[in-house]
């Protein structure tokens, strides 16, 4: 696989410092039932990396000592970690708001029939990936049959109250562009999703989050392989980076997710965001530090590691784990 990391590290992106830390994002492992083209984690069915319960315990201690509000669970498919249910139940008892970044097809996979009801029972916010409302486009990006499985899962979540008015069960969908382009305006696209998914399938949801594809891991490799000849194999990658940089808006800097979020990998090492994690750019800029060694440390105002991919978060309408800025 092409490695885009060396092309990203040297950057003129502005220096950043963290504001108040409110959220801990935990990558529970790279195991997933899908292998999506846009995946910046390079997750898939053959990955074996999974977070151990000891690391989860360290993370929960950190969240309690730091007075955090939110635990944001990602992967891979977070639900495929054997200790997923233990982590969610413990975090909810601790008073944390829990987000599950859910690939909805996992909810209809054999062996995971428990997941939807469990998430509803724990009042977990679901952020479900659905990169388009047109079936052929989703299948092209995520694999044959993924759209129909996703629709079945979303219907099940609606049956449980997710996405329904006044249910208290929040269901948000995620859009990713199919190629090296910026997402369209989030509000207009959200209405298109509502019209199509509601009209065709009766599906309701709370919000659509439009997220820019990052030129790292699998999507970075796709860009690097975009040239027709070996001599121009970087052209598509370079053009995409130029697009991100040309669309840079400094007003987005104050709202990027790394200002209030910290990310840990499946082993418990700490990064400023999930994207930095995939580029092996540890928080602090030196050797990786374990979450268990930061229980008492104040990370407010700490410097944030930046590189070329950071232009993806500040381009156009901006992009974060919460969608457009």
Residues of the chain with pLDDT > 70: what percent?
Answer: 93
pLDDT for the residue numbered 219:
75
Q: SS3 for 279?
A: coil
pLDDT band for position 196 (cuts 50, 70, 90): very high
pLDDT for the residue numbered 174:
94
**What is the fold, at CATH topology level, of the domain defined by 5-314?**
TIM Barrel (3.20.20)
How far, rounded to the nearest angstrom, does the alpha carbon of residue 256 sit from its chain's CA centroid?
A: 14
pLDDT for the residue numbered 97:
98
For the stretch 149-169, pLDDT in tens is: 999 999 999 999 999 999 999
Q: What is the pTM of this model?
A: 0.92
pLDDT band for position 320 (cuts 50, 70, 90): confident
| Alpha carbon distance 133, 151 (integer Å) | 10
Summarize the chain as % helix, strand, coil (round to 5).
40, 15, 45
For the stretch 213-240, pLDDT in tens is: 888 877 777 787 765 544 566 788 889 9
Q: How far is CA 312 from CA 165, 221, 233, 315, in A?
A: 33, 16, 21, 5
H or E element that contains 98:
strand 97-102
Q: How far is CA 138 from CA 206, 243, 325, in A?
A: 20, 24, 24
CB contact set of 23 (below 8 Å; sequence gap of 6+): 68, 69, 70, 71, 72, 260, 261, 262
pLDDT band for position 273 (cuts 50, 70, 90): very high
As a whole number of Å, the end-to-end CA separation of the chain is 32
Whether 67 has a pLDDT exceeding 60, the answer reads: yes
């Amino acid at each position: 696989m092409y490695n885009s990391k060396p092309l990203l590290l040297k950057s003129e992106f502005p220096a950043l410092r963290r504001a108040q830390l409110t959220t801990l994002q935990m990558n529970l492992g790279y195991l997933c039932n899908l292998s999506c083209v846009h995946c910046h984690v390079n997750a898939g069915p053959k990955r074996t990396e999974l977070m151990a319960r000891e690391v989860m315990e360290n993370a929960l201690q950190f969240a309690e000592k730091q007075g955090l509000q939110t635990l944001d669970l990602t992967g891979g498919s977070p639900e495929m970690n054997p200790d997923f249910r233990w982590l969610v139940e413990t975090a909810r008892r601790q008073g944390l708001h829990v987000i599950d970044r859910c690939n909805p097809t996992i909810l209809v996979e054999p062996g995971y029939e428990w997941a939807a009801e469990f998430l509803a029972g724990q009042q977990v916010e679901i952020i479900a990936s659905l990169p388009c409302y047109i079936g052929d486009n989703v299948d092209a990006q995520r694999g044959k049959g993924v759209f129909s499985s996703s629709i079945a899962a979303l219907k099940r979540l609606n049956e449980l109250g997710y996405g329904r008015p006044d249910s208290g069960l929040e269901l948000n969908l995620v859009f990713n562009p199919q190629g090296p382009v910026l997402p369209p305006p989030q509000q207009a696209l959200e209405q298109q999703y509502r019209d199509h998914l509601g009209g065709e399938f009766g599906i309701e949801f709370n919000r659509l989050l439009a997220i820019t594809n990052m030129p790292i891991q699998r999507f970075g490799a796709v860009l690097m392989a975009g040239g027709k000849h070996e001599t121009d194999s970087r052209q598509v990658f370079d053009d995409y980076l130029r697009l991100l940089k040309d669309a840079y808006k400094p007003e987005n800097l104050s709202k990027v997710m790394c200002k209030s979020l910290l990310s840990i990998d499946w082993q418990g090492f700490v990064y400023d965001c999930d994207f930095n994690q995939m580029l092996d750019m540890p928080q602090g800029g030196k050797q990786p530090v374990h979450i268990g060694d930061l229980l008492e440390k104040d990370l407010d105002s700490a410097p944030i590691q930046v590189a070329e991919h950071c232009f993806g978060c500040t381009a156009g309408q901006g992009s974060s784990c919460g969608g457009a800025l």
